[in-house]
Amino acid sequence: MRTTDHVAAAGLRVVVLGGTGYLGRHIGEAFLADGAQVHLVSRNPADPRLVRMDLLTAGPAELTAFFGSLGPDVVVNAAGRAWRADEAEMTAGNADLVLRVTESLVGLPRPPRLIQLGTVHEYGAGTQGAGTPEEQEPAPVTPYGRTKLLGTQAVLRAAADHGLDGVVLRLGNVIGAGVPAGSLFGMVAAHLGAAARAESLGEKPDELRLPPLRAHRDVVDLHDAVDAVRAAATAPAADVSGQVVNIGRGEAVPMDALIHRMVELSGVDLPVVETVPDQPTRTDAQWQQLDVSRAQRLLGWQPRRTLDASLRDLLAAAVPAPVNGRK
């Protein structure tokens, strides 16, 4: 990220939708540290200082009145559904909500910049050995990818038809502290935590049983993803408005090696067994690799943190002593 971005963000009025979620809360903390005025929006905020709003039921008029009352410079949409939701629920959170947000923002006297958080899963299958550029026609193969693509399309239409200053950051698979429990990494971290507790009691931990890990994924560190949002908030409108920008490592990481490295870093003596699951074959794309050259060109952004640093952050809460003590 450009070194001046944190200075440019000072004094900005920033609204983060999904402000208590995995990405939203870290984005909010980063903007606060930059000196921005931050409003975190959540359906069930634990902190009474946060803004309570059910985004799934809020109509365009309510959203327009809300945004109009705050007069934000930047709106970050970190809301949505990914885990433990069916396609209808994902459509409501990932597509319908985005459409209502864009409709409300274009009606404001001074529309803010909208930063929509998209996903690599919008692309579908990548070409083995090559990075996927933003120009590639999306062909998502999962409900999550399909519904997130609808959200992206809503932002791009609003930019083209109504001049909305909107940009979509198409994120790789984000890993770091607090990763959702429904994800592969969250599930493995929880299992490692339970195994560490069993070891401390002198008990033998249960083996970690996973489906065959044959996929290659583009993963991006949580802090790097947050830095990309900060850079997008202050980039010139002429550069980013109406654009999709890939945010990832720019490489395809084998998931089996990454999970085994995660176990190694945990310090837990845990056997990993890959089994053939008694369920339908997953339809996820087997190769995901993003071309991130546009992010470097338009945002001055590039991934900086190592995979080990990301995994250590992820494991720290679940297995604190081994993770903090390993080199």
How many alpha carbons fall within 13 Å on the CB side of residue 68? 12
Least confident of 93-97, 143-147, 205-209, 280-284: 280-284
Q: Could you tell me the CA-to-CA distances from 74 to 39, 59, 195, 215 in Å, in that order?
A: 10, 20, 43, 36
pLDDT digit string, tens, across residues 207-260: 888 888 899 999 999 999 999 999 999 999 999 999 999 999 999 999 999 999
Instruction: Look at 121-125, 179-183, 300-304 and tell me which has the smallest mean pLDDT.
Output: 179-183
- Hey, how many other C-beta atoms are within 10 angstroms of the C-beta on 25? 18
Q: Residue 184 has which token pair?
A: 């592969």
Instruction: Decide: pTM greater than 0.85.
Output: yes
Query: pLDDT at position 298, please?
Result: 97
* Catalytically annotated residue among 22, 31, 123, 144: 144
**Catalytic residue at 123?**
no
CB-based contacts of 95, cutoff 8 Å, min separation 6: 147, 148, 150, 151, 154
How many whole angstroms separate alpha carbon 205 and alpha carbon 174?
28
Structure tokens at 209: 């049983």
Give the pLDDT mean for 279-303.
Answer: 86
What CA–CA distance (Å, rounded) separates 185 from 168?
25
Tell me how far apart the alpha carbons of residues 50 and 33 are, in angstroms, rounded to a whole number.
17
d(CA 83, CA 163): 33
* Measured distance CA(268)–CA(276) in Å, rounded: 24
